[in-house]
């Protein structure tokens, strides 16, 4: 009888350890495609404050975009502007083609979650000139010109 109880305890312990890991593996209801290629990332898209966010570094890497972190301020280089943004802040500074300085308040700022920077899809359309299309079954298509 003791062996049977021990086996049940061991089985329950293993089951409790496996279930949370498998739940995290497919934590998102969205599938993101960048220029018709599935975005590969360790981190799934998330929903936050009625907006969909994607992992920023994964997206920039897939697009071969130039970006650099300067003590918490992210500099994103775009062919027509340079963006300076800090995660979890709703203010952004950017420089236009003629290096004219602009300040703007972001309705949906870049956020961090579990040490990962996430960018809202609306930001991609507004400041990085990307096209966002929502498809069936949670598919999101991000289309961009060559920004490398």
Residue 111 has pLDDT above 50, yes or no: yes
97 Cβ neighbours under 8 A, 6+ residues apart: 80, 81
Percent of the chain with pLDDT over 90: 54
Q: What is the mean pLDDT of the chain?
A: 83
Is 50 exceeded by the pLDDT of residue 32? yes
Range in 20-29, 40-49, 111-120, 128-137 the model is least confident about: 20-29
Tell me if the pTM is above 0.85: no
List the domains of the chain with CATH numbers: 30-143 (3.30.457.10)
Whether the predicted pLDDT of 4 surpasses 80: no
pLDDT in tens, 81-102: 999 999 999 999 999 888 899 8
Q: What per-residue confidence (pLDDT) applies to 6?
A: 56
Q: What is the pLDDT of residue 84?
A: 94
Enumerate the β-bridge partners of residue 139.
31
């Amino acid at each position: 009888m003791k062996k049977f109880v021990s086996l049940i305890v061991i089985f329950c312990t293993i089951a409790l350890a496996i279930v949370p890991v498998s739940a995290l593996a497919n934590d998102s209801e969205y599938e993101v495609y960048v220029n018709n290629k599935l975005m590969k990332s360790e981190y799934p898209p998330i929903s936050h404050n009625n907006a969909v966010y994607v992992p920023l570094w994964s997206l920039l890497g897939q697009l071969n975009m130039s970006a650099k972190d300067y003590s918490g301020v992210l500099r994103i280089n775009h062919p027509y502007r340079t963006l300076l943004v800090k995660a979890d802040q709703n203010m952004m500074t950017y420089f236009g083609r003629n290096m004219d300085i602009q300040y703007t308040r972001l309705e949906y700022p870049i956020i961090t979650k579990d040490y990962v920077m996430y960018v809202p899809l609306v930001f991609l359309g507004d400041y990085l000139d990307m096209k966002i299309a929502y498809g069936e079954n949670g598919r999101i298509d991000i289309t961009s010109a060559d920004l490398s």
